[in-house]
Chain A
Amino acid sequence: MNGPLGNQRPDFAVIAEWIPQRARVLDLGCGDGTLLKYLQQTRGVTGYGIEIDDGNVLECVKNGVHVIQSNLERGLADFDNGSFDFVVLSQTLQAMRNTEHIVREMLRVGRSGIVTFPNFGYWKNRLNVLRGHMPVSENLPFEWFDTPNIHLCTVADFEKFCGERGIHIVARTLLTNGQPVTSLPNLLGELAVYQFGG
């Protein structure tokens, strides 16, 4: 999982493996455009990133990524139904105010959605809570009082959420220290990467 992406964002490497050549990709909360730049260079993908932060928008321009400065909470009204093969939301789902709305929007605009989020069910997080404290780690770097993460969930929670809404999970990878986890994902997986369809 190491390489141009693996070191900084292990979930990017998983996402990149799922995306075929020349796919149309919309990256929600694309940050500095690292993922899209990588996908453009290695897969010849086309598409856009959406980002709200000025500094990240500037970095996207420097990275040659087509970025649209916008607040995701506004929804994806700028995008037509089914206009992308993949809509990616990496490590942002847990910070969205209206979780269900954005997931539905992803499936309206794209044929498949990909989300990544920190698994709150990871044993170290459970241990922290057992010890009486909210977890603070590399994947959950914020203290409880200044965290943007208002909708943290576990792997089991997310799958229940999808199941209840008829959202079909196509693929799942759990990562811990950048390496895939093969057993007990909700306990041993630190970072969840899901691909789903309508």
Chain B
Amino acid sequence: MAADKIQDPSRSVGVVTPQVARFAAPLALRCGASLRDYELVYETYGTLNADRSNAVLVCHALNASHHVAGHYADDPANTGWWDNMIGPGKPLDTRRFFVIGVNNIGGCHGSTGPLSINPDTGRIWGGEFPVVTVEDWVDAQARLADHLGIQQFAAVMGGSLGAMQALAWSARYPQRLRHSIVIACAPNLSAQNIAFNEVARQAIITDPDFNDGNYRALNTAPKRGLRVARMVGHITYLSDDEMANKFGRQLKNGKPGYTFDTEFQIESYLRHQGNKFADYFDANTYLRITKALDYFDPALEHGGDLAKALQSVVAGMLVVSFTTDWRFSPERSREIVHALIKNRAPVTYAEIDAPHGHDAFLLDDARYHRLVAAYFERVHGEIAK
């Protein structure tokens, strides 16, 4: 899902450097466990203004990280995952806003997670790392905001699982954000969504190299499982039409070979994505992130009443969905909008007619980007007052 295309250097934040924040106070997790101390890896772009009112937190989805925009000096091809959205002159304009990307707890890009050392045992956490939730991530992000001296974000923004964090922020820390930008979201996962996640998890857990998650100690990794997990995921990120357009029934060699090699282009694409992913992503993290998705359900504690769950929201809400997204369909976003309207909250809802399915939130679509740009123009107008 990374944007590998050549970028216009004048519209890029350029070379970026990750930073690390260490937290000595324990973080209580929803599952009952707590992290004694932890680290968060993050990146920032743009400049924090004098009254610290122009900060925007960008929350990442399933496979992404703190590397949201720009590239690394020693790895110029490694472009941030939302580089088309964030940079000078882009919809989230870094000439106006101070943008923060952070790798979540339980991640595998440097923040405390299954690859870190468990301070109680001195060994790698591995399969022992606790199950984390969206709310845990948001709590950790709030501590990062404290650390950076940001009392109130101009906006918290995310797509997909990132949007769930933006939504959770608006209800959990209502005074700490002016706006919440919730893109390609759902108020909880459907049974079908959970089913896809469970297939992905079973692929990993039943891989003989999984070893209860303690594969690192044995110098192995359940790469076969991770590959299949990623393949399943990719099917759900694209629309049927988009897959038909991109691959159709094309055969790599033009004619059937009557074998189990990769023959159809779609097979080749999925295997490529699976292989690429299995090489850089940690299986324990994947398991935990899919669980965080499954458990996300803010209405649950309120008898299933989403409006009640969002009653505390005072931020301006921008909710965006994509017509061909069947993983988190527009109907799911409308549930969020409906709840916010019930609460008379300030909400704007746009349904973008895009062919790409769930992945549309990451792609460069003119209508979508114009809308987000116009919304940030409004946010900027407010904080400039």
Contacts and interface: CB of A to CB of B under 8 A. Distances in A.
A164 interface: no
A68 B346 CA distance: 11
B377 A78 contact: no
Contact of B344 (A46, A57, A61, A68): A46
Contacts, number: 49
Contacts of B377: 62
Contact of B348 (A46, A54, A61, A78): A61
Contacts of B367: 54, 58
Contact of B347 (A54, A68, A80): A68
A58 B367 CA distance: 8
B374 A48 contact: no
A62 B341 contact: no
Given A46-B344, A78-B341, A69 B351 contact: yes
B120 to A, nearest CB: 50
A87 to B, nearest CB: 13
Contacts of A67: 348-350
A64 to B, nearest CB: 6
A124 interface: no
Nearest to A49: B348
Contacts of B341: 48, 68, 78-79
Interface string A50-76: 000010011011101011111000000
Contact of B350 (A46, A48, A57, A78): A57
A57 B371 contact: yes
| Chain A interface, DSSP helix/strand/loop, else mixed | mixed
Contact of B375 (A46, A61, A78, A80): A61
Contacts of A78: 334, 337-338, 341
Contact of A58 (B342, B349, B370): B370
Interface in A22-69: 24, 46, 48, 54, 57-58, 60-62, 64, 66-69
Nearest to A62: B374
Given A54-B353, A80-B342, A61 B347 contact: no
Contact of A66 (B346, B371, B374): B346
A68 B349 contact: yes
A166 B375 CA distance: 43
Nearest to A77: B338
A196 B353 CA distance: 36
Contacts of A83: 344
Contacts of B370: 58
A79 B340 CA distance: 10
Contacts of B371: 57-58, 61
Among B344, B367, B375: residue with most chain A CB under 10 A? B344
Contact of A69 (B346, B350, B374): B350
Nearest to B370: A58
B378 interface: yes
Interface in B61-118: none
Contacts of B337: 68, 78
Interface string B322-361: 0000000000001001100110101111111100000000
A40 to B, nearest CB: 11
8 contacts: A54-B352, A54-B353, A54-B367, A61-B350, A68-B348, A70-B351, A78-B337, A83-B344
Interface of B: 334, 337-338, 341-342, 344, 346-353, 367, 370-371, 374-375, 377-378
Given A57-B350, A58-B370, 6 more contacts: A48-B347, A61-B350, A67-B350, A69-B349, A69-B351, A80-B342
